[in-house]
Chains A and B, each alone.
Chain A
Amino acid sequence: MSQTPALLDLDAVTKTYHLGDVPVQVLHGVSLRVEPGESLAIMGSSGSGKSTLMNILGCLDRPSSGRYLLNGNDVSRLSRGELAEVRNRTIGFVFQNFNLLSRTSAVENVELPLIYAGVGTRDRTKRAKAALDRVGLASRLDHHPSQLSGGQQQRVAIARALVTSPKLILADEPTGNLDSRTSVEIMALFQELGESGITVVLVTHEIDIAAYARRVIVLKDGLIKDDHRQEPERAAPATPPTPEVKTA
């Protein structure tokens, strides 16, 4: 066991929702340690609790009981505002449906987290451009989401997740809306980020996608059923990214 604190440290985390008067327990005590720089895939069928776990890991929700240390800080009992600050500073999100702001340029979408971090205009634009450059979209700064292909939109979303230099990137089915060729490109990008020291947590139900991760956790009925390490499959080199044409 290393001396440095784990990036993610969950101890007997449970989550119970109250649908009316009926309590529904979704997580039954999940314990998990993820070291800094380690990347993993969380797998599970629908109803396994993987979305709930992802929400708790992403500080969008609080556990009902148990303890969650993120980067050594207990975040299990923080207020909404404090959680927002933790998300802003430590976590980047990538969603299945990209969740970009429509009618807003790529660079402005990427700037969004920096606005809430209180970064000044000039610095903000500079960092947003750098992040877009890193995902290979330097030439698409002023394009709106509707002018970009699915793969490009997901790259913008990844740039948005990256721009605050987070320790953790949480990707929820990031390839779910993409064709297989584009999916591989996106996975290559995630692998590259993982190698640069960012912890990438991938939530997926696709075996093919989980194959790219070094560690795979399988969730079933709110409990970790399997936790194994593997030699990850290499995704096709991401650089240089092939220019994509939007399919009309």
Chain B
Amino acid sequence: MNPLLTFRLALRALLRNKMRSFLTMLGIIIGVSAVIAMVAIGEGAKAQVEKSFAAMGTSLLIVMPGSSTSGGARGGFGSQPTLTWDDLKAIQTEVTSVKSAAPVLRSSAQLVSEDQNWTTTVQGTTPDYFDIRNWSIANGTSLTQSDVEGGTKVIVLGQTVASRLFGSGDCVGQVVRIKNTPFQVVGVLQAKGQSPTGQDYDDGAFVPVTTFQSKIQGGLQKYLSGTVFVSATSAADTARAQTAVTNLLRDRHRIPTGVDDDFSIRNLTEIAGAQQEGTKTMTTLLASIAFVSLVVGGIGIMNIMLVSVTERTREIGVRMAVGAKPHHILAQFLVEALTLSLLGGLLGVAIGIGGGAWLAAKFAWPILVRPDIVGISVVFSAMVGVCFGLYPARKASLLDPIEALRYE
């Protein structure tokens, strides 16, 4: 007996009791639609968090110089320059898990265009910085290595700065003055939005680090009086890179064991991870609720299948009399249970996606339907059907044809 025919017969049997079939499926429908909708909402939220952390740069470490202590007052990280340019070079070349590293020197400065001015944070850095931050140029070009080597007076503006100084007009090729030194605008960065703490990334300007030292900070220095942005070779390597950089710097600074570091390293991946932990807990919770509701749905199916087997005892007897083998009867009822649960699962998927989309539209939540979750839900509901349908189907297949035919 071919499977398609078995399926058609099952479908017909279920259609004879439409209301009952629907109510039986309800448990599965609710379970699956809850999973789909909740996971879609959860994933949407997670994606949003991930996006805001990705904006900071993935696999990012920030190395800050140590603190100064003068007269008992401790200055906090960065108050004393302990990082040297050689340290930077060592981080770049000696640590295998580091992809690139860029110095960042900061200073607040007033930028003056022809008819406007704007005070912002000017940062001296190298071209690597933009890679580390996943930050691309919207217009014009980025800083180049030769700009850094030659100390050219070029500047790359953040979106906010560009619009403050030049409005909506094109500013590439224009000149801005910082402390009376003219800088040529070579590029404008893509808008990056806000940091998780609300700081506007786009309110800033970037010049070659060498130019920064000579024109803005004043005088070349042995110490790197800023921070170093480091990107690990991959997000998974971030922790390893952190340890390696720590060891390298301790070694270079000749810090004996037991003495505190004279620098600090911030790992932004850790913060992102903590945020995601919350989402994960939520998802696990939802999944267990969904699991329970699917099991309850399965019990509902078993219950109705048992009623159905009893009701159709005569039919089973007739089928056996005309030549149905036990496995035919088993298959018939199993496929009915499977059809119930599978239809329930598919309806649940439809309702879950629809409901998720409705919630998304109503409350402006981002939703993300994960195809693998949809697949798992459908497969799982089918499994529920088979597991809970097995007992009634087996009971049917073990009926004695004589007694089944005599059943009133």
- Interface residue ranges, A against B (CB under 8 Å): 55, 58, 60-61, 80-81, 84-85, 87-89, 93, 95, 99-101, 103, 112-113, 115-118, 121, 160, 164
Given A81-B325, A95-B405, A99-B405, A116 and B319 contact (CB-CB distance below 8 Å): yes
Output the least CB separation between A40 and chain B (Å): 20
Instruction: Tell me the complex Cα distance, A101–B322, Å.
Output: 12
C-alpha gap A33/B381 in the complex (Å): 55
CB-CB under 8 A from A95, the residues of chain B are 405
Residue of B nearest to A61 (CB): B402
**B254 on interface, CB distance cutoff 8 Å:** no
The answer to whether B325 and A89 touch across the interface, beta carbons within 8 angstroms, is no
10 contacts between A and B (CB under 8 A): A60-B321, A84-B325, A84-B326, A84-B328, A88-B322, A93-B321, A100-B318, A101-B315, A113-B323, A121-B5
Residues in A whose Cβ lies below 8 Å from that of B320: 60, 84
Docked Cα-Cα span, A97 to B105, in Å, equals: 97
Contacts of A117 in B (CB 8 A): 323
Give chain A residues whose Cβ lies under 8 Å from the Cβ of B328: 84, 116
**Inter-chain contact A160/B326, CB cutoff 8 Å:** no
Q: Is the CB of A99 within 8 A of B318?
A: yes
Tell me the complex Cα distance, A85–B326, Å. Answer: 11
Indicate if the CB atoms of A55 and B402 lie closer than 8 Å.
yes
Report B315-338 CB contacts with A as 1/0, cut-off 8 Å: 101111111111110000000000
Contact present for A85 and B323 (CB under 8 Å): yes
What chain A residues lie within 8 Å of B127 (beta carbons)?
A: none
Q: Which residues of A contact B236 (CB under 8 A)?
A: none
B325 touching A112, Cβ below 8 Å: no
Contacts of B322 in A (CB 8 A): 87-88, 93, 112-113, 116, 160
B 5-31 binary contact with A (CB < 8 Å = 1; else 0): 100000000001000000000000000
A116: nearest residue on chain B (CB-CB)? B323
Give the shortest distance, in Å, between B2 (CB) and chain A (any CB): 8
Closest to A88 in B: B323
Contact residue range for chain B? 20 to 34
Given known pairs A99-B317, A101-B315, the reply for A80 and B1 (CB within 8 Å) is no
Nearest-neighbor residue (CB-CB) of A157 within chain B? B318
Q: Which residue of A has the minimal Cβ distance to B12?
A: A104
Known pairs A85-B325, A101-B318; A60 contacts B402 (CB<8 A): yes
| CB contact between B325 and one of A55, A60, A80, A121 (< 8 Å): that residue | A80
Q: Choose one: B318, B401, B405; the contact of A112 (CB below 8 Å).
A: B318
What 5 pairs between A and B have smallest CB-CB spacing? A88-B323, A113-B322, A116-B323, A84-B325, A81-B325
Cβ–Cβ < 8 Å partners of A118 in chain B:
1
What B residues does A88 contact at CB under 8 A? 322-323
Chain B neighbourhood of A115, CB < 8 A: 1, 5
Complex alpha-carbon distance, A5 and B149, angstroms: 110
- A residues in contact with B324, CB < 8 Å: 84, 116
For residue B314, CB closer than 8 A to chain A, the reply is yes
Residue of B whose beta carbon sits closest to that of A124: B5
Sample of 14 further A-B pairs with CB below 8 A, known A60-B402, A80-B326, A116-B328 = A58-B321, A60-B401, A84-B320, A84-B324, A84-B326, A84-B328, A87-B321, A87-B322, A88-B323, A93-B321, A100-B318, A101-B318, A116-B323, A118-B1
Give B10 Cβ to nearest chain A Cβ, in Å. 13
Q: Please tell me which one of the listed residues A89, A99, A101, A103 contacts residue B323 in the complex, with CB atoms under 8 A apart.
A: A89
B residues less than 8 Å from A85 (CB atoms): 323, 325
Query: Separation in Å of the B308 CB from the closest CB of chain A?
Result: 14
Bound CA–CA A60/B5 (angstroms): 26
Q: Tell me the minimal C-beta distance from B219 to chain A in angstroms.
A: 94
- Separation of A121 and B320 alpha carbons in the complex (Å): 20
**In the complex, what distance in Å separates the CA atom of A160 from the CA atom of B323?**
12
With contacts A55-B402, A95-B405, A99-B318 taken as known, whether A87 is within 8 angstroms of B323 at the C-beta atoms is: yes
Q: Which residues from chain B contact A103 at a C-beta distance below 8 Å?
A: 16
Residues of A within 8 A of B325 (CB): 80-81, 84-85, 116
B1 x A81 contact (CB < 8 A):
no
* A81 and B326 in contact, given A55-B402, A95-B405, A118-B1 (Cβ under 8 angstroms): yes
* Cα-based distance from A142 to B107 in the complex (angstroms): 91
B327 neighbours in A (Cβ, 8 Å): 81
- Taken together as a complex, chains A and B put the C-alpha atoms of A157 and B365 apart, in Å, by 62
In angstroms, Cα B404 to Cα A55, docked, is 13
A55 to B402, CA, bound (A): 7
Residue of A nearest to B408 (CB): A97
CB neighbours (8 Å) of B315 from chain A are 101
Complexed CA–CA distance, A115 and B6 (Å): 10
